[in-house]
Structure 1
């Protein structure tokens, strides 16, 4: 399959051959499994103290003291004095099976399966129906994937990046991402994740010559090198079909990456 290469002004003159990876079957379940594996590997371990309830001054009252022989905290005049220690025989007791920090909660995935998920997610970027169903605005786009000449990688100014994205018909999706920011409901607002943001276009380049600097202030836009691509980047949330712009050198490198 051949696809037209767009200039920075949006003109389509020359054509290039798409790598074979774009002919891969789209496997939604495999992609979702790879994304869940990546997300679960970042879960912070949590668990109770292994010595919970043991580090206390509590002692068992002697026989004949007139009180139940349950270990009680020593002292007087403060809130814990006389309280029954946290032990199996007291009301409530310890949790039977509390969370254990040593437990590995990462979802395992085979290397071949993970590689298949990335190839499948790459192939999904050329499907207009999948990209549209994700919510991307592609009214001005007739054919995917979008390929742009390598001079795009050298742009260092946000204004110039915006002009190129407008000529490619992608800017409407950036505006959608900008207008889609909303305040999160619930306690997440207090925990460093106050805003929910929309996912915008993905720019895949062969080499960073300034494009990351030029695009970093655009809402929802991500720039990645070919070697950094993963199923989670290409299919945020495990849903394939992210609107993606490729450079010519990126297509060459992705051909090398998946032809090994």
Structure 2
């Protein structure tokens, strides 16, 4: 277990992008080894909680008086009505399903509590690693990771102000990426309400969901705003891939440190 005394020094920025001192982050957050396979497991376990159980009426397609005529008629031996129309069989009109979804099927993937906590710490640690952030596809350029702002950043009330701030701290390429032309999905999913693929942008962590920046940042595609107590592996590692670009307000960062401190105690 790492010593809780070791710390990483991080600069703190004002809401206008200028530097306003520095803060420290314990190394049990910033220097933890990123375990991709564990993050992936935790993501899938949490994602499976959103699945809706599917099922069919066990008698669907079977409520018929049709019976097989047997052999000797030169036709298939499927159940038929008196008029000779096939019923009941999976390939017949109004027939049953061959392999319908079962209500009792186990669709949730389980993960132990300690494993999930370790995966959360691993995903959190990746957000403080510039190499991991760039590997995930974010274009951070010359910006320094992690990005921490004073509490004043939570008072931004216009989407334009948030975008200008991101550009001012060196994330112009990231803004261009998330505002870029959306990609059209392949396959049938584009017929079913999932036509476009949304690019995942930065995660903004604030201390209060009533802050003005929550509504302002919601106008930027791919950007999510969360409080420290609501941040999960799905937020830190969308798709199960750790290293999401994360922007913190100083009070939110302090709350997150207090939240995860008990995980390593």
TM-score category (smaller protein): 0.7 to 0.9
**Distance (Å, rounded) in 1 between the aligned partners of 2:240 and 2:97:** 35
Measure, in 2, the Cα distance between the counterparts of 1:207 and 1:220: 20
SS in 2 for 1:259: helix
Equivalent residue for 1:205? Answer: 206
CA distance in 2, matches of 1:41, 1:215: 27
TM-fit CA distance, 1:52: 3.0
- 2:32 maps to 24
Between the aligned partners of 1:69 and 1:6, the Cα distance in structure 2 is 78
Structure 2 matches for 1:112-151, cutoff 5 A?
A: 112-141=114-143, 143-151=144-152
1:77: which partner in 2? none
How high is the TM-score relative to the length of structure 2?
0.84
What is the alpha-carbon distance in structure 2 between the residues aligned to residue 160 and residue 109 of structure 1? 41
Unaligned regions of 5+ residues in structure 2, if any?
A: 1-7
CA radius of gyration, larger in: 1
Cα distance change of structure 1 residues 168 and 61 upon mapping to structure 2, 3 Å threshold: same
Equivalent residue, structure 2, for 1:253:
255
Is this contact kept in 2: 1:174–1:221, CA < 8 A?
no
Counterpart secondary structure, 2:137: coil
Equivalence for 2:216 = 214
Say if 2:17 is the partner of 1:10: yes
> d(CA) in 2 for partners of 1:72 and 1:223?
60
Aligned to 2:161: 160
Show the counterpart of 2:4. none
Matched, 1:170 2:177: no
Cα RMSD, aligned residues only: 2.8
Work out whether residues 30 and 129 of structure 2, in 8 Å CA contact, stay in contact via their aligned partners in 1: no
In structure 2, how many angstroms separate the alpha carbons of the residues matched to 1:37 and 1:5? Answer: 35
Provide the rounded CA distance (Å) in 2 between the counterparts of 1:68 and 1:13. Answer: 83
Paired residues, what number? Answer: 249
Question: 1:80-126, CA deviations, whole angstroms, 9 ceiling, x for partnerless residues?
Answer: x42343269x9xx9777543122121111111111211111111011
**Cα distance change on mapping 1:59 and 1:179 into 2, 3 Å:** same
How far off its partner does 1:46 sit? 2.9
User: Which of 239, 242, 245 is the matching residue for 1:240?
Assistant: 242
Moved over 6 A (4+): 67-70, 93-96
Q: Which runs of 5+ in 1 are unaligned?
A: 75-80
Matches within 5 A, 1:61-80: 71-74=79-82
SS class of match (2:106): coil
Number of the residue aligned with 1:78: none
Aligned to 2:197: 196
